[in-house]
Chains A and B, each alone.
Chain A
Amino acid sequence: MRVKYFAWVRERIGISEEMVEPPAAVRTVDDLIGWLSKRGETYAYAFEKPRVIRAAIDHTHVKPDAMIAGAREIAFFPPMTGG
């Protein structure tokens, strides 16, 4: 699946998107955050406060307990500040 990062999440990780293949045990958005956090210091820094991070699956906002099976694109970003 494709993972995208925006705003300071993107800046902390250092890339805007990547393809990942998490193991089957990674079932929810929360699991994916935990799995990504172990990929390196930049990820651990971006996800150091997981409750602050918002997520979207295929362009729709989701909660941390949302299942990721079948997702084409998952995005992680800070709370929104548009308007």
Chain B
Amino acid sequence: MTAAATIRIQQADFDIAQEIAALTKGRSDVGAVVTFSGICRGSENGEPIAALTLEHYPGMAEAEIKRHTDEAMSRWPLTGLTVVHRVGRITPGENIVLVLAASAHRQAAFQAAEFLMDYLKANAPFWKREESAKGTSWIEARGHDDDAAARWTKS
């Protein structure tokens, strides 16, 4: 059985319960939904921040996420996948990103959700700029995000 992934890039917040319901409502083959939500922290490297502003590459961001959801669908027996990534100005405590992976059993759902987040961090064309008392600056990429993505590469 093939399931279609839902991919959205939006300024507005998302409702996690509503997104989960969209994957489970009216069906009895889903035994597990793993939810990852990324939330804006109030500090970066120990310095308080006022907000993050997320920029993305329209067109490529959707295409890149779809390449990864397609791969997740081919690697694990999933009944559904949802990726919602917010852009624009986001303040501490607000949601940034949501990944939902649904499957008959938990293992596939856990693995697919982790795989997607690791790949999104390293490969999806989004950039964060932070606002703090010192002004605004672009957040630097971390090497360990590339390492986290690389561990899923099939040898």
A residues neighboring B (CB under 8 Å): 4, 6-8, 56, 59-61, 75, 77-83
Known contacts A82-B85, A82-B126; 13 further A-B pairs (Cβ under 8 A):
A6-B125, A59-B57, A61-B64, A78-B138, A79-B140, A79-B141, A81-B126, A81-B128, A82-B97, A82-B125, A83-B120, A83-B124, A83-B126
Identify the closest chain A residue to B52 (Cβ): A81
Residues of A near B56 (CB, < 8 A) are 82
Q: How far is the CA of A7 from the CA of B64 in the complex (A)?
A: 18
Contacts of B60 in A (CB 8 A): 56, 59-60, 75
B59-82: which residues lie under 8 A (CB-CB) from chain A? 59-60, 63-64
Cβ of B32 under 8 Å from chain A: no
Question: In the complex, what's the smallest C-beta–C-beta distance from B49 to chain A, in angstroms?
Answer: 14
Nearest CB in chain B: distance from A73 CB, A = 9
Q: Mark B112-146, 1 if CB is under 8 A from A, else 0.
A: 00000100111111111100000000111100010
Residue in A59, A77, A78, A79 whose CB lies within 8 Å of B59? A59
| Nearest neighbor of B126 in chain A, beta-carbon distance | A82
Contacts of A60 in B (CB 8 A): 60, 63
Instruction: Write the chain A residue with the least CB distance to B67.
Output: A60
- Chain B residues whose C-beta falls within 8 Å of the C-beta of A82 in the assembled complex: 54, 56, 85, 97, 120-121, 124-128
In angstroms, Cα B138 to Cα A82, docked, is 12
